[in-house]
Homo-oligomer: A and B are copies of this chain.
Amino acid sequence: MANTHVKEMQALKEHLGKHQLKLTRQRELILSAFLRQEHITAEAMYHQLAKSDPHLGLATIYRTLNLFCDAGLAQARHFGSQTKYDNVSHKGHHDHLICTGCEKIVEFENEEIERLQEEVATRNGFTIKTHRLELYGLCSRCRH
């Protein structure tokens, strides 16, 4: 655990430094736990961390995950009715395939789709800032 997530920790420190924010025990702890997941809800992280740190407040989890979003390490994604924080520290933009049977989430990137999105936007006079593409269905296992 000593030399894992060094890069992300560095990125966080950089963000903190730029915004007069402080590095706390909680922020370190939450970052470390967050980086072990791909997609997680604040509530799930709260329960997960409660085992080792029963006094960590839910509000702190929310505040910290939102801080990670500001720092570019995380991204809040609204899947169905849940808000999951997506670990984007080590990867670029991507979209999602979501199994409605088992909740499995597969990430994908498709240059061609992205290009066509730009085309659609341009045709309508828009400049895209962000987008969201989610495909909901059944994975091979759940189909049977």
Contacts and interface: CB of A to CB of B under 8 A. Distances in A.
A88 interface: no
B121 A97 contact: yes
Contacts of A44: none
The size class of the interface chain A forms with chain B is: 20 to 34
Given A131-B133, A131-B135, A132-B134, A126 B110 contact: no
Interface in A92-144: 97, 99-100, 106, 108, 110, 112-113, 116-117, 120-121, 124-140, 143
Contacts of A116: 110, 112-113, 116
Interface in A78-99: 78, 81, 97, 99
Q: How many copies does the complex hold?
A: 2
Given A78-B78, A116-B113, A129-B100, A124 B136 contact: no
A135 B78 CA distance: 14
A100 B134 CA distance: 20
Contacts of A110: 116, 120
A88 to B, nearest CB: 17
Interface of A: 78, 81, 97, 99-100, 106, 108, 110, 112-113, 116-117, 120-121, 124-140, 143
Per CB-CB distance, the 3 closest pairs between chain A and chain B, nearest first, are: A125-B140, A128-B137, A129-B137
